[in-house]
Amino acid sequence: MPSTRFPGATRVLVAWTVLFGTCYSAMANGGFERLEGGSFTMGSNEHYREEATERRVSVGPFMTKATEVTNGEFAAFVAATGYVNTAEKDLDPAANPNLPENLLVAGSMVLAEPASAVDMADSRNWWRYVPGANWRQPEGPGSSIEGLEDYPVVQVSPEDACAFALWKGGCLPTEAEGEIAARAGLEGAGYTWGEGYDPSQGWKANTWQGLFPNVDTKEDGHHGTAPVGSYPPNAYQLYEMAGNVWEHVSDWWVPGHPGKAQSDPKGPPEAFAANFAHPSVGAMHVVKGGSWLRSACWRALGRYRKQ
């Protein structure tokens, strides 16, 4: 799925937080798993159009973080480096002459759940721009991540994600690496755990239950994000490879993939991807993994990899 960009390429999205949830593994946060790589069928001809065409892809060995990056980890990065993330920066009026003044102020998009069903063709019915929304206060001024150190950090752009990964001595995974990690050896399966999803056998991912965007019955125990490691890992011992939050990868987004075998693909050039984006926004990055909002967009740092 493409990463939605907002004016000036600085606007990312926020996640609601919750105060409960059972952690499947107290040791999940912070650990790494080594993946040996291999050849697999990447993409899908049956789901989102941009996931086609199915093709054979080979990926070399790499190490990946077992969980999404947390608020606590990102806070340590900021404390050590003084890094200022993109949602904390005002936009330059000279570089964005067509934007209204209120959209030049540092901030981000926040979910605004309507009271009743709305026209799903217009995402403005459930998103609002909130000045002051950022990773520290993801719902805007007055919100906080205090006590939520083990929740995935949100309101971070691909640039922020790259900066964090470099600080940790790694980088963002490619789309192919992200997909082979999520599939965990299940060739052609519809989910990271296999075929089918029967919640009566236990919840396997943090997703929306009910009628989006106004009714979430939170049968899985969460309305909003869940602490990392809240759901069972896949066969590679990687947590929340589906649901919870979308995850940035390094590839630039285009509406489709080449239908040919590839080895360690890095994705298309940025200049080519820019052909499929508004000039004021620029090329978009791919995101993977779905979110607690299911098919709606939710941006977080995700995880990073090491060689």
Mean predicted lDDT score pLDDT of the chain = 85
Using the predicted structure, report yes or no on whether residue 27 has a pLDDT greater than 80.
no
Average pLDDT over residues 110-123: 92
Question: What are the DSSP E strand ranges found in the chain?
Answer: 32-35, 38-42, 55-59, 62-65, 107-111, 127-131, 246-252, 262-263, 285-288, 299-300, 305-306
pLDDT tens profile 234-251: 999 999 999 999 999 999
Output the pLDDT for position 30.
59
In angstroms, what is the C-alpha Rg of the chain?
Answer: 18
User: Measured in whole angstroms, how far is the alpha carbon of residue 268 from the centre of its chain?
Assistant: 20
* Tens digits of residue pLDDT in 141-199: 999 999 999 999 999 999 999 999 999 999 999 999 999 999 999 988 888 998 888 88
Question: What is the average per-residue pLDDT within 82-101?
Answer: 92
What confidence score (pLDDT) does residue 141 get? Answer: 97
Q: How confident is the model at residue 307 (pLDDT cuts 50, 70, 90)?
A: low
Share of the chain above pLDDT 90, in %: 68
- Name 174's Cβ contacts closer than 8 Å, sequence gap at least 6: 59, 249, 250, 251, 264, 265, 266, 267
The pLDDT value recorded for residue 3 is 33
pLDDT greater than 50 at residue 113: yes
The model's pTM is 0.87
Mean pLDDT along residues 72-95: 95
11 vs 293, residue with greater confidence? 293
DSSP assignment of 274-294 equals GGGS-TTT---EEEES-BTTB
Residue 252 tokens read as 């630039």
How large is the average pLDDT for residues 220-236? 94
- What is the set of domains in the chain, with CATH numbers? 1-307 (3.90.1580.10)
Share of the chain above pLDDT 70, in %: 87
